[in-house]
Structure 1
Amino acid sequence: MASFFWPSSTSVVPPPRKKVEEMSNWSELPPELTFSIMLRLDKIEILENAQKVCTSWRRVSKEPSLWRKIDLRNPNWMDYDIEAICRHAVDRSEGGLVEIMLTNFVTDSLLTYIADRSSKLRSLSLVISSLLTDEGFVTAVAKLPLLEELKLEPYERDGDDDALAIAESMPQLRHLQLIWNKLTDTGLKAILDKCPHLEHLDLRKCSKIKLSGDLEVRCLKMLKVFRRPEDSTAAF
């Protein structure tokens, strides 16, 4: 599909209300106004409803810039085939995806699918469950060297595999949240060594972190925001 630019939602000036009311067919709306409307919709609403309104709306719904950010965390969507919808949404981005937020439906194959098609991804928020293995996570994140923000929602995984994978594959990382992770000081040291741009690190409830040696000093010196294992999760 040929790439073209649509104005952002803040730059679109909708037509007078009377003019909109006089339109007898939604297909008569200007494309830029249709695009502005879709920016305000959840991605599932676009795929399941909005794109079916008419041919012109379907054409606008395929614009890649509409899919640069994908948020699939709404629990009301669990009745849908959410994995298929996620794949469809990623395909619509045509490689332009920069931010994606997912819950605990993610499998090894889905995360790999996203990583293989999202070389520009900058932000990943993920709730890890038993559907996603250590190996699957490590393999996928190794393909995301431009990632700047990684949020792994509360979960418990043994060992330093996740931390070492992050350290080896995400040199541009700036924001890292690892609540309830079971990484050790070894994993933390690897992250500090290999992620020189890191500014925000959240290690709340990471019970195996001891901050031995000079680790705490390094964290305080390197980071703008550092949340220790013993810090409260009340505001989480």
Structure 2
Amino acid sequence: MPPSSSYLPPVMKDGEYGKWAELPPDLTSSILQRLGTVDILENAQKVCRSWRRVCKDPSMWRKIDMLNPGDLGSMPYDLEVMCRHAVDRSQGGLLEIDIWYFGTDELLNYIADRSSNLKTLRLIMCYPIADEGFIEAVAKLPLIEYLELSHCAMSGAALRVVGQTCPNLKTLKLSGEPNPDFNEDDLNNDDALAIAETMPGLRHLQVFGNFLTDTGLTAILDGCPHLEHLDLRKCFNVNFSGELAKRCVEKIKVVKRPNDSTAGHPYGNDWFHELNAKYTYGDTESRTMISVTPTMISVTPTTMIGTRC
């Protein structure tokens, strides 16, 4: 649903740009929270003093989204340093964090040491983070309810620790590299068994491109009695038929089968489309995006709504 128009200031006339500095802090915060963390730290907080004050408020940092283009070598800033800075600003109030394309064991533990109230953790293509660092960090995050590990290197052993230390976990999303030409070496139920044996409270489970077999799926159905949504797309080792398929359909409200379309999956063919959509809101016929530079605040497809205040 598009946000209420009352949250957006009117288009200003020439000479009225300074009024941006006069906006109430809560309204300014509402506007700036539509941006990602990189945009806030690199651009928005440099617009004017009043915006910088808002950007320093811990309430601005309940969620940290480190979305970036992924070309780390060409960036003029250090994403890990920036992420640590954002975590520090949250002053222990961080509830949700998304890390894209970068990250280390040290960074993840830095976050965990300062964010014991964290409920949502999303790691996307964070290959440098290994089991050891992940396990150490997740043991400090007992309130996690939503965990996504997409194209990461964590093992079934790490997932088992998640289940043992995060009793509130309701959503788990795993995305890997699908392999339609699998062989016996690809038959692996480690993830599935870890989930089945330690995560009885799961409501939503995605195992996109996983190597689990019918045995692993059966274990999940036995061990996770409250599942409402199950995504098995690209799980080519699962023979989704007969009694197993019937059990899934009868037991679970929403089931996505191994050969179902991947349209809409953020790491499929529409990957970059999904990235671009991260900073948009509204319906498909009327998309609106806020962008900020130190000298201009604009809303597209509408006109510029302000300059340096």
Q: Is the TM-score greater than 0.5? A: yes
Matches of 2:5 and 2:256, distance apart in 1:
38
Q: What residue in structure 1 maps to residue 23 of structure 2?
A: 29
Matches of 2:54 and 2:217, distance apart in 1:
45
33, 39, 48: which one aligns with 1:45: 39
Q: What residue in structure 1 maps to residue 305 of structure 2?
A: none
Task: State the 1:96 CA deviation.
Answer: 4.3
Matches of 1:21 and 1:166, distance apart in 2:
60
Stretch deviating more after TM superposition (222-231 or 16-25): 16-25
62, 70, 94: which one aligns with 1:68: 62
SS of the residue corresponding to residue 172 of structure 2 reads strand
Q: How does 1:51-62 map to 2 (within 5 A)?
A: 51-62=45-56
Q: How does 1:109-120 map to 2 (within 5 A)?
A: 109-115=106-112, 117-120=114-117
Q: What residue in structure 1 maps to residue 211 of structure 2?
A: 182
Is 1:224 paired with 2:253?
Answer: yes
Distance 1:125 1:175, change over 3 A: farther
Matches of 1:103 and 1:109, distance apart in 2:
16
Task: Name structure 2 gaps, 5 residues minimum.
Answer: 135-153, 179-185, 266-309
Is 1:205 paired with 2:239?
Answer: no
Distance 1:39 1:186, change over 3 A: same
SS of the residue corresponding to residue 255 of structure 2 reads strand
Checking the alignment, whether the CA contact within 8 Å between 2:234 and 2:259 is kept in structure 1 is yes
How many residues are aligned here?
228
Task: State the 1:187 CA deviation.
Answer: 3.5
Task: State the 1:35 CA deviation.
Answer: 0.8
164, 169, 172: which one aligns with 1:147: 169
Matches of 1:222 and 1:119, distance apart in 2:
34
Q: Which amino acid aligns with 1:154?
A: G
Q: What residue in structure 2 maps to residue 5 of structure 1?
A: none
Q: Give CA-to-partner distance per residue, 1:179-221, whole Å, 9 cap, x none.
A: 1111234443443334333211111122233358854333212
SS of the residue corresponding to residue 101 of structure 1 reads strand
Q: What residue in structure 2 maps to residue 81 of structure 1?
A: 78
SS of the residue corresponding to residue 239 of structure 2 reads coil
Matches of 1:166 and 1:113, distance apart in 2:
26
Distance 1:216 1:102, change over 3 A: farther
Q: What residue in structure 1 maps to residue 150 of structure 2?
A: none
Stretch deviating more after TM superposition (197-206 or 138-147): 138-147
Task: State the 1:54 CA deviation.
Answer: 4.4
Task: State the 1:112 CA deviation.
Answer: 4.5
Q: Which amino acid aligns with 2:261?
A: S
Checking the alignment, whether the CA contact within 8 Å between 2:175 and 2:210 is kept in structure 1 is no
Matches of 1:212 and 1:89, distance apart in 2:
48
Matches of 2:170 and 2:220, distance apart in 1:
13
Distance 1:97 1:178, change over 3 A: farther
Checking the alignment, whether the CA contact within 8 Å between 2:99 and 2:124 is kept in structure 1 is yes
Q: How does 1:104-143 map to 2 (within 5 A)?
A: 104-115=101-112, 117-128=114-125, 130-134=127-131, 136=134, 137=154, 138=158, 141-142=162-163, 143=165
Checking the alignment, whether the CA contact within 8 Å between 1:205 and 1:229 is kept in structure 2 is yes
Matches of 1:103 and 1:61, distance apart in 2:
22
Task: State the 1:27 CA deviation.
Answer: 4.2
